[in-house]
Amino acid sequence: MIRFEKVSKAYPGPGKPALDNVSVDIEKGEFVFLVGASGSGKSTALRLVTRETRPTAGRVYVAGKEVNRLAGWKVPRLRRQIGTVFQDFRLLPNKTVSENVAFALQVIGKPKSEIRRVVPATLELVDLQGKGDRLPDELSGGEQQRVAIARAFVNRPMILIADEPTGNLDPTTSAGIMNLLGRINETGTTILMATHDESVVDQMQKRVVELDHGRVTRDEARGGYGSQVG
């Protein structure tokens, strides 16, 4: 589903490359943690998948297509197959919960009837039924992240990318979010999650890919945050 083939990424200016000859293959339906210290290249790897940036060398394949070779006008179509969740939620503050989720469908031109049908169902999936009319700042952090996940998942993408989704949340709330991501994974959605939250990685016991200074130092089928080292 996602394949990195000897991918390197260097940003302009001096310093080490963000990614250095990385090769990783992620199957459809897998749940993969990308762990490592800040600056290890996790976010760069995620940005390569959504083609927000391009590799300096090597190839990135998403759903069988080489992302770097995609024509500019085809990039939106790629992104419709990928849901994205961030640490800072990125909700629109002047739109209600329902409107935030519906926005993702509106801007890709889905018909209103479909939006009316799909949005409440998705809010129910993330346990936010009855809160559709609230504004984001009337919700707790965990609830806001659920809205963000609902928005990422409402179009039923094949892949869900999460960049530190529990970074702003307390452990109990984080566990709830991880539970939700686990349920989404069970629907067949491939999940790639960058994190340095040890407890969630240890709790989930899923595949772990560790990056250190842009290099893969560990790729373990079922691991904890620091399995081999600790």
Provide the minimum distance between the beta carbon of 165 and other proteins in the complex, in angstroms, as a whole number.
Answer: 14
Does 78 sit near other proteins (CB under 8 A)?
yes
With contacts defined by CB under 8 A, name the span among 5-13, 24-32, 101-109, 121-129 that binds other proteins.
101-109
Residues in contact with 79: Cβ distance below 8 Å, sequence separation at least 6, in sequence order: 50, 51
Interacting residue with other proteins among 63, 65, 103, 182 (CB under 8 A) = 103
69 binds other proteins (CB under 8 A): no
- Reference 121, options 150, 97, 95, 162; nearest CA is 150
Measured from the CB atom, the residue of 106 and 205 that comes closer to other proteins is 106
- Min separation Cβ 76 and other proteins, Å: 4
- The residue within the footprint of other proteins, chosen from 54, 69, 76, 188 (CB under 8 A), is 76
By CB under 8 A, name the one of 96, 155, 174, 189 that touches other proteins: 155
CB-nearer residue toward other proteins: 76 or 130: 76
Work out which of 15, 64, 109, 230 binds other proteins, going by CB under 8 A: 109
Residues in contact with other proteins by the rule CB under 8 A = 50, 72-73, 75-81, 84, 90, 92, 103-104, 106-112, 151, 155
